[in-house]
Amino acid sequence: MTLSELKSADSTLALLRDPYRFVSRRAAELGAHVFETRLLLRRTTCMTGAEAARVFYDPTRFQRDGAAPPPLQKTLFGQGGVQGLDGEHHRQRKALFLQINHPNRVEALAEAVTQEWERAVADWMAAGQIDLYPQVQLLLTRAVCAWAGVPLPQAAVETRTRQLTALFDDAGDIGLGHLRSRAARKAAERWAADVIEQIRSGQLSVPDLSAASVIANYQEPDGQPMSPRIAAVELLNVLRPTVATAVYITFVGHALDANPDWRERLASGDQGEDRAFIEEVRRHYPFFPAVTAIVRHDFEWQGHRFPKGRRALLDLYGTNHDPRVWEEPSRFNPERFLDEEPDAFAFVPQGGGDPAVHHRCPGEPISTRLMDVALDQLARRMSYSPLEPGRSVDFGRLPALPGGGYPVRLLGAGDR
């Protein structure tokens, strides 16, 4: 064994027990930012830190085709979507999502979410107390479907919310949760494919700039439309990540409670510091633990050999806490985002690099804008108190959340 290789025969269980901190902790133990292990019995090179991210996102060295483990392809991502494409095909498909996420369209979605949030508050007040995470999932599902041109009868809201949520909330489970996620993937793809086929046949009329319309009318590089199944995967690649923003929104609430000085500062401020707070939530809190790629051809970096065909795993959470880049990385400090834009390979909550070229999530503007909406509601407009403040984050959960959820009590005028 060398310094950069773990002794264990397979690290899959260790990774599942601590998915967000496994790579960075093992790297620290080894004194290296690159090391080898086995995951699902397959030799894998693990990487962490901003320098490693810059190498990982070099398309001449790594490819995405075949990189995602089959369990994630059949749940989280779907098969045939943009995440598994490379080269010109990837750039053209990514341009589709950049069109869908044009700033004007993002703002229209923010307005829809704001309206749904304000309607939901009345129901929350009547209930007295809620768990914020599942309630935000519901309002995001209603808003994104209306915005995307996907019909959603009121009677189907809870069903579709459960399906979209299962794609990311159960995908990392190794038991019944994973089976629920796979079943949800099949049902959701049938639903989305039916929407696509109705648009193409003229049975369903939707706005030209809506996500459903843009995807239904998209042509592949060979001039042909996407198959209904692939189009369904890509439509879900719009709906699913939007609903997954409920994770970040829950962490916005947690961060406000954990940092009362910032809560007061934002409540009395002019919104000029909102984005710094949001970016620090995305840096500080766990969201997606890691991303995978395949080595395109043999190369060496920092004395470590990367053989062709080797799977590589880039640690996102650890890179966002790389002490070589971030001063006091464990401390929640939004001021680090007030003065300058972070390096695109050091700040990687949803992938690294340029979203138009690299495999950085094109939906990042949606995430940050919807977090804007939530922060405004939670810090300035809603009156509530957490029922169990100070709950620690459960890092063993995928996605991570405050242990036991985030229950809050809504306050009326007489309670304030």
Look at residue 2 in the predicted model and tell me its pLDDT: 44
Task: Starting at the earlier edge strand, list the strands of the sheet with 384-386.
Answer: 129-131, 407-410, 384-386
pLDDT average, residue stretch 210-230: 95
Considering the entire predicted model, what is its pTM? 0.94
Instruction: Answer whether residue 184 shows pLDDT above 60.
Output: yes
Look at residue 415 in the predicted model and tell me its pLDDT: 58
Instruction: Answer whether residue 381 shows pLDDT above 70.
Output: yes
Q: How far apart are the first and last CA of the chain?
A: 62
10-65 pLDDT, tens per residue?
899 999 999 999 999 999 999 999 999 999 889 999 999 999 999 999 999 999 99
Cα–chain center distance at 178: 18
Q: How far is CA 154 from CA 194, 195, 242, in A?
A: 18, 17, 19
112-130 pLDDT, tens per residue?
999 999 999 999 999 999 9
Which of 72-86, 132-146, 289-303 is predicted least confidently? 72-86
302-323 pLDDT, tens per residue?
889 999 999 999 999 999 999 9
Contact between 254 and 402 (Cβ < 8 Å): yes
Which of 20-34, 75-89, 203-217, 332-346 is predicted least confidently? 75-89
- pLDDT-based confidence at 3, cuts 50/70/90? very low
Cis status, amide bond into 153, omega within 30 of 0 = no
Instruction: Answer whether residue 413 shows pLDDT above 70.
Output: no
pLDDT average, residue stretch 354-383: 90
pLDDT averaged over every residue in the chain: 92
For tokens 């269980």, what's the residue?
13
Scored b (16 or more CB within 10 A) or e, 84-101 reads bbbeeebeebbebbeebb
Question: Would you say domain 12-415 falls under CATH 1.20.140.10?
Answer: no
Look at residue 1 in the predicted model and tell me its pLDDT: 39
pLDDT average, residue stretch 117-145: 96
Q: How far is CA 332 from CA 31, 124, 259, 352, in A?
A: 25, 29, 8, 21
Instruction: Answer whether residue 414 shows pLDDT above 50.
Output: no
Greatest Cα pair distance in the chain:
68
Distance (Å, whole) CA 359 – CA 62: 11
339-362 pLDDT, tens per residue?
888 899 999 999 998 877 677 888
- Sign of the CA dihedral with 75 first, then 77, 78, and 84 last: negative
